[in-house]
Amino acid sequence: MIDDVELGRLRWRCRRGMRELDQLLLRYVEQCWPDADDNERGVFLRLVDCEDDTLWRWCLGLSTPEEKDLDELVGRIRDLPP
């Protein structure tokens, strides 16, 4: 179960200073995080540790992460409905 403090911290980590990137990451938190298993959550936490410009290029499809699990998660995030 997710508590409000944990969710608040996660939302804060998703604030990147680029509105579009914030929205993509927060969309994942709202739609997928509650049902994600520990492995997927770990991948997401690694993702939010990446540099903004790298994340943005991945989300636009201009480049792809070398790690397969990150690449799969980025694809899922891009495909989430608004």
**Three-state secondary structure call for residue 45:** helix
Q: pLDDT of 34-68, one tens digit each?
A: 999 999 999 999 999 999 999 999 999 999 999 99
**Three-state secondary structure call for residue 35:** helix
For residue 33, what pLDDT is reported? 95
Taking residue 43's Cβ as centre, other Cβ atoms within 10 Å add up to 19
Indicate the domain borders of the chain: 4-79
4-79 — its CATH code? 1.10.150.250
Q: pLDDT of 67-81, one tens digit each?
A: 999 999 999 999 999
- Is pLDDT above 80 for 25? yes
Tell me the C-alpha to C-alpha distance, in Å, between residue 78 and each of 1, 3, 9, 53, 82.
Answer: 26, 26, 22, 16, 10
